[in-house]
Amino acid sequence: MWMMVMFDLPTETKLQRKSAAQFRKFLMDEGFEMIQFSVYVQFTGTWESSQKFVRAIQENNPAYGDVNILFFTDKQFENIIHIKNSVKKKLKKQPDQFELF
């Protein structure tokens, strides 16, 4: 399971810019990876494990602006097409899982 956080936060005042920067830093500290300026992703494993991140995002949500959270299966995330500088690339693959014998 992958979790994608997309947001549109106001940045007209110094206080709003600071709030937006703090939210971005919060996401990075939680282990999210930026794929675009206001789009962050993280592999969460399962729906249940993603819920702790949902709660943390709700608690750290800026006072103004929009935050959306999407969930993708591994296969759906693998099929995302990413084009950068006119070159088509695949997004980062899910982390390898450890096998215990």
The greatest distance separating any two alpha carbons of the chain, rounded to the nearest whole angstrom, comes to 56
- Tens-digit pLDDT profile for residues 27-75: 999 999 999 999 999 999 999 999 999 999 999 999 899 999 999 998 8
Q: What is the pLDDT of residue 94?
A: 54
Give SS3 for 2: strand
Determine, yes or no, domain membership for 9. Answer: yes
Tell me the CATH number at 43: 3.30.70.240
Torsions phi, psi for 51 (to 5 deg): -65, -30
Determine, yes or no, domain membership for 95. Answer: no
Domain count, the chain: 1
Determine, yes or no, domain membership for 34. Answer: yes
Distances (CA, A) of 26 to 42, 44, 86: 13, 16, 31
Mean per-residue pLDDT of the chain: 88
Q: What is the pLDDT of residue 87?
A: 77
